[in-house]
Structure 1
């Protein structure tokens, strides 16, 4: 899937446990696991907003887009479609 969820990265930066995050966001640990492991098909904006509030981050800190043909473990340099 071209959207990579990086909740684990923010959890590590904030030194926060998954259970603590789930409790503060107001979702079950099982639903948070589905989201953070990339198995979710969708995420509500209210959930994303709560995650950002609790983790003190922006949505782009939690979600990253990668092209279908690119290995998520080795992201390429960001490119823009605008001329210099």
Structure 2
């Protein structure tokens, strides 16, 4: 699975502080989400990110066959 949040943030020219302000989330949380694929993602968090970045959930995640198949 590939986490595409950093790509979307770069495409939209939004940094973690601005995204935190728009979503109402803590800047530290946004920074962690930006730098690491979360093991678990709350629906409300996903909705906030999609709304702020004007994207669909599938824009944030990309499935890569064979990667992580041992889970």
- What range is the shorter-chain TM-score in? 0.7 to 0.9
The CA RMSD measured in Å over matched residues stands at 1.6
Equivalent residue pairs, number: 67
Q: TM-score, normalised by structure 2?
A: 0.80
More helix by share: 2
Q: Is the 8 A contact 1:4 1:38 kept in 2?
A: no
Larger radius of gyration: 1
Structure 1 gaps of 5+ residues are 70-84
More RCO (CA 8 Å, sep 6+): 2
Aligned to 2:22: 24
Structure 2 gaps of 5+ residues are none
Aligned to 2:57: 59
Q: TM-score, normalised by structure 1?
A: 0.69
Q: For 2:34 and 2:40, how far apart are their aligned partners in 1? A: 12
**4+ residue runs over 4 A deviation:** none
